[in-house]
Amino acid sequence: MKKNPLEIAEKICKDLKKRGFKFIGPKIIYAFMQSSGMVNDHIVTCFKYNESNKTKKGIENRDYL
């Protein structure tokens, strides 16, 4: 990821608020980013770190990133 994930979460949050979402914030967006695999918060030595990076192909070319 080229930008800070928190900056991206804030940008997505602002965009969703413009579209009419009421109960939304950067923490909710960041949690979604973690659960969907956009953000890998595993420690580099964790066995899940490499496994998570394998499924990340193609995400880096999104508009928000």
Per-position pLDDT tens, the chain of length 65 = 467 888 999 999 999 999 999 999 999 999 999 888 888 887 788 887 777 666 555 555 455 54
The whole-model pTM stands at 0.65
Q: What letter would DSSP give residue 59?
A: G
Token representation of residue 62: 């999104």
Distance between CA atoms of 59 and 65, rounded to whole angstroms? 8
Helix/strand/coil for 14 = helix
Q: What letter would DSSP give residue 19?
A: T
CB 17 within 8 A of CB 9: no
| Alpha-carbon radius of gyration of the chain | 13
